[in-house]
Chains A and B, each alone.
Chain A
Amino acid sequence: MAAYWSEECAIADFADLQANAMAVDCLGSWTVLAGRKTLALVDLDNPEDRVFRVTRQSKYDISCVQWNPHASHAHLFVTASNNKIDLFSWQESNTKPECSMKGHSRNISDLDWSSFDVNVIASCSTDNFTHLWDVRDPRRPVSSFQTVAGASQVKWNKVTNNCFATAHDGDVRIWDPRKGNTSLVYIAAHLSKIHGLDWNPFNEYSFATSSQDGTVKFWDFTNPRHDKGMLNSGSPVWRARYTPFGHGLITVVVPQLRRGENSLYLWNNDSLQQPVHQFIGHSDVVLEFQWRKSREGKRDYQLVTWSKDQSMRIWKIDPQLQRLCGHDAQDSSENELSAVDVSDAMETDHKETMANQRLNASIMYSNKTDSLPQQQPMNLTQEFSLVNKNIPNVKIEEMAVVKRSCIAIAVSGKNSVTLTVRFPTNYPNEAIPSFEITESTVDNALHKKLHKVLVDTARKFVKRNTNCLEPCLRQFSAAFDKMTLEEKKTPDSDTFPMPQASNKLLQSGLFSAYQDESIPFPRTCGAHFCPAGYVVCFGRSKEAKKGFGRPDVTPKTLSELAVYASSTRVRSSQSASGFPVYFSKSPPTPNSETVSVSMYYKYKDRKQRARVKSRVKDDLELKSKEMIKSSKIRTVTLAPVCIYEISSLLAINKQLGEEYRIDLKDIPKMCQQNIKAALAVGRKDLVQLWSIISQISNPNLMSSPSFDSGSPWALNPFGRQMLESLMQYYQQIHDVQSLAMICCVFWSKQESVQPPVVKPSASKSSLIEGTPVNTEGNITFLPGSSSDSGWNLLSGRSKNLSKSTLTEVPSNPNITAMFQSAIQKVKRSNSWSDFSMDDYRFAEDADPKEKAIQNEKQQHENNCRLLDPCHEAQYEQYLRTYANILYCWKLLTKSAEVLKHISTPLEPHRGIEFGMMCHCCGKNTRGARCNNENCLMLAFQCVICHTGVKGASNFCLLCSHGGHAEHMLEWFQLEDKCPTGCGCFCLTGDPF
């Protein structure tokens, strides 16, 4: 502790002022003390005598006040009270209000003039916003920054421009206003609330934070993870500010604490174990302290302090004290240690008391450590000031901090209840307030229910040591509303859609404006593509112009609507005594107090309004004003929803989808057909495309199956290369229709590129289904297996093969299982069409020599293909996409036709499987033929021709009668009931 006593050089008492805030101007000549009723401007050179008082009319205290820090504008100061910022100028012993800035929705917690721009002020509030204001345009903030938690402090960097810091509970954010709503740095600084933040006046990166946890931490925001140093003062620190000289810091304790520590402490930042000096003098806690600029010629600094004892003191910081903070004031050697001897004895004495105090403090903390990481409970004053009074149906009559009580009245219909809440002294630390219903128009049973709601809610919050007044009042209002509503429920309440539902909403405290701040302003127009080639547009009508005051940019959040809503209400001079109820009224009864998005839009067309009004007059004014409003919204605000046909903008065409033919048997004919279709829709480029396809796919050009008969046609520039460049173009214009059609012709099934010399059975294979020959044909055309030699190979020894592979790969149970299932399928199915090709892939592994030949063959085969097999997956995707588009166009058959060309089929159906009971032996069976060795009849009998069915069949899911598809089709063209006469309406699916 310093062996030095400083003396205040001036004391001035302003007992009547009740000021909470004070500010010293940048020239060091004036200070302003801001009380609720009076602003006092004090001449610092003559603080006791030269005082000017200005009365103010407001029910709110001034929470902060600040002078402009620029000498050129030194006469300006701003005050913040409640949610409003006022700018005053102080000239010739007179304050003149310059302007007001309103933008916050809750209490402003701090404001700060920019150190670089004379016109810019930053303000922060518990409404989660930090606004930057330009005093030349006070109507709205220049920019706004939103955070999840409200800020307690906002401070501009003193060294560099475009940088400020905000403190949110225990966290600090550093912002660059040019970067928008994203903070540069986020520092989790303290576990408890940060009360004060101050930038180092000499370093652009460093600042100090003072917190409820009793520490002051020093930070360099380039290293946000670790503090650069910490000072432990033992009691919660209200403010910590750098000294304008040396490496010093001044701290004061949190005023609400009232621990009797009314001193300011001076610390040397280089040795933070204990303070270097204590400023003793104030008889109550210090509320504010600021540095007064030293006048020319003087080396002294002065500290101006304002305390709850309503006295202002000016302390001289002489060179000796400055040196304690490492500031080497030159030629200050004289006068050194002038007071040491005087206070030598007192010093030791004082040291002891200090140590004791700190000890006490630390004991207190060790008792409370478990609750430390949680948010420290606020005191009652703070809670009262923070309560959002806009609770639906509740009016707060009185909030008395001294009496520790609050009186609120809830109204629902014609019922009302007056509630008195009393807060015990240890509230909210595990003590709930007492609730008492003093006056009411309802019975006792209801009182009990309400009381229970209140106590339950309070307990829930107090358990976490948090304040509960606002949630209690909200629950109270909701519960009361609900209960009275239930009571007065009558049959005609059915006309109100879901009255209870809307109460549930109220219960959750939904309609409070501050929660709407994170909800984006609703869309009122838009356009949607529909896959089928339409765009649907909705929007506002021409007459609905954008809202009041700021037509250039649409608001960001839903909460901004409240502003427009209130202005509308004032304009229409409706009774506005109630509380805004957001969207809470049901649609058939639009109410003047309902906030709606349409309120943002005003109507330019005066005539239309007049017309609406006169029409109502004609109706003998039977309709209420509300009705005008609702009809106005309907007729004027909304444009009809329009559906546009935009297929002309797309490269794909529905008509083509309908007309295009896929017929790989006769490609030239197919091309002719498609050319006609393209002509019909006027797509000349597609006419060319189809002529070229017709040319390329000429069967005469197809290369021979053996790979030693010269290079295949596909390698000709007119072959694959040209096709690829064509496809590239259609990719660029996203013409998936043409792409898919090209893939259909040249990719999906190989037959088209196979030379005609291939055995007829193979070329027919894809067209005839249901014969074993076909199955083998399909196997040969697997991508990855070879063409005709593979065909021979497989057809010759398919049975052997499956067995031998089984023995070859017994180690892999999956493969074995797969083969078994494949074999089973072969056994039990007459129709081979569901046979999965993958089952036979292993054929390749049979013989290394054969494999080599096969590889070569495959290479050749790939070369023969007009589309590069490497992009197989892509081709298939074109087909799928196009099939999907056809599906949207409701061209279901066409869609299936395209999907048929996909080589990797869809996942097999894995849901219900239809079993059959053999009509002959009555055993359950699968497949066409009965499994029963003794029976082996065709299991399913056609109800029309009474013979067995082995091919396509059709049966009713309800009565399970059916038969040959052909016969059933014939029958149901004329009939709608089951042919057996069982009475089932098979077509509609209606049971009997």
Chain B
Amino acid sequence: MVSVINSIDTAHEDMIHDAQLDYYGTKLATCSSDRLIKVFDVKGGQQTLVANLAGHEGPVWQVAWAHPMFGNIIASCGYDRKVIIWKETNGTWDKLYVYSNHDSSVNSVAFAPHELGLVLACGSSDGSISIVFSTGDGSWDAKKINGAHSIGCNAVSWAPAVAPNALLDQSGKQQPVKKLVSGGCDNLVKIWREEDSQWVEDQKLEGHSDWVRDVSWAPSIGLPKSIIASCSQDCRVIIWTNDGTFNNWTSKVLHKFNDVVWHLSWSITGNILAVSGGDNKVSLWKENLEGQWVCISDVNKGQGQITDGQSAISS
């Protein structure tokens, strides 16, 4: 049964824009318009504030946890055009690196699969995407895709490190996949790949009629297909699937909502999608055995409390 195990009053002074649990689900990072990032320990139904990370000079839009093999690392981005990478050493959080090579608000950050090393993608309203990576000797470097989306880039998400077609291929060891998907104000979803250490456009997916607000590449469990979900200002969520053999993406509208859809998240098994939007509601969608997407948080009454999660709990 779905149950609330923690309910945390973050004491943020303004709107919260993102909340992310770390890999193990034991640490929570939240960010807000009050320019702060808060880190909580949430072990065993209890939570304690462990850090207030101040460093952004405007609202903080998103946070992301790196894989624990790199240590406790958070990346955050915000209105102040900065991406800050924070690291915990002996219980204290410090800035590890500040990337400030964007000309407008940075709307999205995402860490690459750990197979690729400590690599981070950032999408900004200046239309570009930056790939920031640790060179291993403590310094950082970045590559930039300029003009990735005209007007602005709103979201980035990495492809799983294992290519679906590699699963059909018998030729032994494969290089980890280095691909990412982005969505922007040109209403497009674009897939990028690294080729000869340059990032090039791999695919352009047209389907939305307004700004794309979020994209999310589904984790792979070993099935030979790729799935991307995208959501937009046009209130639609589209599921893009690729059978792995060709660059041929088919689209399917998951649902048209009543308000802007601005956030998507896949479960680790890649078959449940959490959708949230301007109506302050969260719904969970699952593909059934017939290949149809159904809303499981509405259908199963017992699990229904998550739909109105916010309102039900706050009252």
Interface residues of A (CB under 8 A from B): 146-148, 179-182, 497-498, 501-502, 504-505, 508, 510, 515-516, 518-542, 544, 546, 552-554, 556, 558, 583, 586-587, 590, 596-598, 630, 633-634, 637-646, 648-652, 731-736, 739, 870-875, 877-878, 880-881, 885, 887-890, 904
Is B2 a contact partner of A641 (Cβ separation < 8 A)?
Answer: no
CB distance from A979 to the nearest CB of B (A): 27
Is A586 a contact partner of B35 (Cβ separation < 8 A)?
Answer: yes
Is A597 a contact partner of B268 (Cβ separation < 8 A)?
Answer: no
Answer whether A541 and B310 are a contact pair too, CB < 8 Å, given A146-B185, A532-B25, A641-B10: yes
- Pick the residue among A180, A519, A889 that contacts B210 (CB under 8 A): A180
CB distance from A987 to the nearest CB of B (A): 16
Answer whether A532 and B14 are a contact pair too, CB < 8 Å, given A546-B278, A649-B296: no
| Interface residues as binary, B251-287 with A (CB distance below 8 Å gives 1, 0 otherwise) | 0000000111011011111111010111011101010
Chain B residues with CB below 8 A from A542, complex form: 310-311, 314-315
**Complex-state Cα separation, A196 to B144, whole angstroms:** 37
Is B150 a contact partner of A148 (Cβ separation < 8 A)?
Answer: yes
Is B152 a contact partner of A870 (Cβ separation < 8 A)?
Answer: no
Is A523 a contact partner of B259 (Cβ separation < 8 A)?
Answer: no
Chain B residues with CB below 8 A from A870, complex form: 170
Q: Is B306 an interface residue (CB 8 A)?
A: yes
Is B54 a contact partner of A497 (Cβ separation < 8 A)?
Answer: yes
Q: Using CB atoms, name the residue of chain B closest to A635.
A: B9
Is A505 a contact partner of B80 (Cβ separation < 8 A)?
Answer: yes
Is B151 a contact partner of A531 (Cβ separation < 8 A)?
Answer: no
Chain A residues with CB below 8 A from B211, complex form: 181, 520, 556
Answer whether A734 and B262 are a contact pair too, CB < 8 Å, given A640-B7, A645-B2, A649-B284: no
Is A530 a contact partner of B25 (Cβ separation < 8 A)?
Answer: yes
- Pick the residue among B2, B21, B127 that contacts A648 (CB under 8 A): B2
Chain B residues with CB below 8 A from A731, complex form: 223
Answer whether A739 and B278 are a contact pair too, CB < 8 Å, given A648-B1, A650-B267: no
Chain B residues with CB below 8 A from A873, complex form: 166-170
Q: Is B226 an interface residue (CB 8 A)?
A: no
Is B4 a contact partner of A644 (Cβ separation < 8 A)?
Answer: yes
Q: Using CB atoms, name the residue of chain A closest to B61.
A: A522
Is A540 a contact partner of B104 (Cβ separation < 8 A)?
Answer: no
Given A539-B280, A877-B222, 6 new contacts (CB under 8 A): A553-B278, A637-B14, A644-B5, A649-B284, A735-B269, A870-B170
- Pick the residue among A510, A587, A649, A872 that contacts B35 (CB under 8 A): A587
Q: Using CB atoms, name the residue of chain A closest to B284.
A: A649
Q: Is B243 an interface residue (CB 8 A)?
A: no
Q: Is B193 an interface residue (CB 8 A)?
A: no
The 7 closest A-B pairs by CB, nearest first: A554-B278, A877-B222, A539-B310, A532-B25, A180-B209, A530-B21, A639-B314
CB distance from A743 to the nearest CB of B (A): 9
Q: Would you mind naming 10 contact pairs between A and B with Cβ atoms under 8 Å apart?
A: A516-B105, A527-B263, A527-B306, A537-B306, A546-B278, A552-B259, A596-B33, A638-B16, A874-B222, A877-B162
CB distance from A937 to the nearest CB of B (A): 37
**Complex-state Cα separation, A181 to B276, whole angstroms:** 23
CB distance from B67 to the nearest CB of A (A): 10
**Complex-state Cα separation, A640 to B28, whole angstroms:** 13
Is B187 a contact partner of A540 (Cβ separation < 8 A)?
Answer: no
Is A878 a contact partner of B259 (Cβ separation < 8 A)?
Answer: no
Chain A residues with CB below 8 A from B41, complex form: none
Interface of B is mostly: loop
Q: Is B50 an interface residue (CB 8 A)?
A: no
**Complex-state Cα separation, A646 to B1, whole angstroms:** 7
Chain A residues with CB below 8 A from B277, complex form: 525, 554
Q: Using CB atoms, name the residue of chain A closest to B278.
A: A554
Q: Is B309 an interface residue (CB 8 A)?
A: yes
- Pick the residue among B2, B16, B272 that contacts A538 (CB under 8 A): B16
CB distance from B193 to the nearest CB of A (A): 20
Chain A residues with CB below 8 A from B185, complex form: 146, 181, 518, 520
Interface residues of B (CB under 8 A from A): 1-25, 28, 30, 33-36, 42, 54, 57-59, 61, 79-81, 104-105, 107, 125, 127, 150-152, 154, 162, 166-170, 172-173, 185-187, 209-211, 213, 219-224, 233-235, 258-260, 262-263, 265-272, 274, 276-278, 280-282, 284, 286, 289, 296, 303, 306, 309-311, 313-315
Chain B residues with CB below 8 A from A147, complex form: 151
Is B262 a contact partner of A536 (Cβ separation < 8 A)?
Answer: no
Is B310 a contact partner of A881 (Cβ separation < 8 A)?
Answer: no
- Pick the residue among A501, A877, A880, A889 that contacts B57 (CB under 8 A): A501
CB distance from B27 to the nearest CB of A (A): 10
Chain A residues with CB below 8 A from B6, complex form: 642-643
Interface of A is mostly: mixed
Chain B residues with CB below 8 A from A634, complex form: 11-13
Is A527 a contact partner of B274 (Cβ separation < 8 A)?
Answer: yes
Is A641 a contact partner of B28 (Cβ separation < 8 A)?
Answer: yes
**Complex-state Cα separation, A510 to B105, whole angstroms:** 9
Answer whether A597 and B265 are a contact pair too, CB < 8 Å, given A649-B296, A734-B271: no
Is A538 a contact partner of B30 (Cβ separation < 8 A)?
Answer: yes
Chain A residues with CB below 8 A from B280, complex form: 524-525, 539-540, 544
**Complex-state Cα separation, A506 to B187, whole angstroms:** 31
Chain A residues with CB below 8 A from B3, complex form: 644-645
Chain A residues with CB below 8 A from B79, complex form: 510, 519, 558, 583
CB distance from B284 to the nearest CB of A (A): 7
Chain A residues with CB below 8 A from B263, complex form: 523, 525-527
Is B10 a contact partner of A536 (Cβ separation < 8 A)?
Answer: no
- Pick the residue among A526, A531, A553, A648 that contacts B19 (CB under 8 A): A526
Chain A residues with CB below 8 A from B282, complex form: 525-527, 535, 537, 539
Is B262 a contact partner of A523 (Cβ separation < 8 A)?
Answer: yes
Is A528 a contact partner of B20 (Cβ separation < 8 A)?
Answer: yes
Chain A residues with CB below 8 A from B284, complex form: 535, 646, 649
Chain A residues with CB below 8 A from B170, complex form: 870, 872-873
Is B17 a contact partner of A540 (Cβ separation < 8 A)?
Answer: no
**Complex-state Cα separation, A731 to B9, whole angstroms:** 39
Answer whether A504 and B13 are a contact pair too, CB < 8 Å, given A541-B310, A649-B272: no
Chain B residues with CB below 8 A from A536, complex form: 19-21, 28
Is B272 a contact partner of A522 (Cβ separation < 8 A)?
Answer: no
**Complex-state Cα separation, A671 to B271, whole angstroms:** 28
- Pick the residue among B25, B125, B310 that contacts A518 (CB under 8 A): B125
- Pick the residue among B30, B187, B311 that contacts A180 (CB under 8 A): B187
Answer whether A182 and B61 are a contact pair too, CB < 8 Å, given A637-B15, A877-B167: no
Is A590 a contact partner of B13 (Cβ separation < 8 A)?
Answer: yes
**Complex-state Cα separation, A180 to B210, whole angstroms:** 6
Answer whether A643 and B21 are a contact pair too, CB < 8 Å, given A522-B61, A540-B280: yes
CB distance from B235 to the nearest CB of A (A): 8
Chain B residues with CB below 8 A from A558, complex form: 79, 105
Chain A residues with CB below 8 A from B233, complex form: 520, 556
Is B19 a contact partner of A640 (Cβ separation < 8 A)?
Answer: no
CB distance from B213 to the nearest CB of A (A): 6
CB distance from B206 to the nearest CB of A (A): 8
Is B213 a contact partner of A520 (Cβ separation < 8 A)?
Answer: yes
**Complex-state Cα separation, A652 to B272, whole angstroms:** 12
Q: Using CB atoms, name the residue of chain B closest to A540.
A: B280
**Complex-state Cα separation, A491 to B297, whole angstroms:** 55
CB distance from A88 to the nearest CB of B (A): 33
**Complex-state Cα separation, A525 to B80, whole angstroms:** 21
**Complex-state Cα separation, A872 to B12, whole angstroms:** 50
CB distance from A784 to the nearest CB of B (A): 10
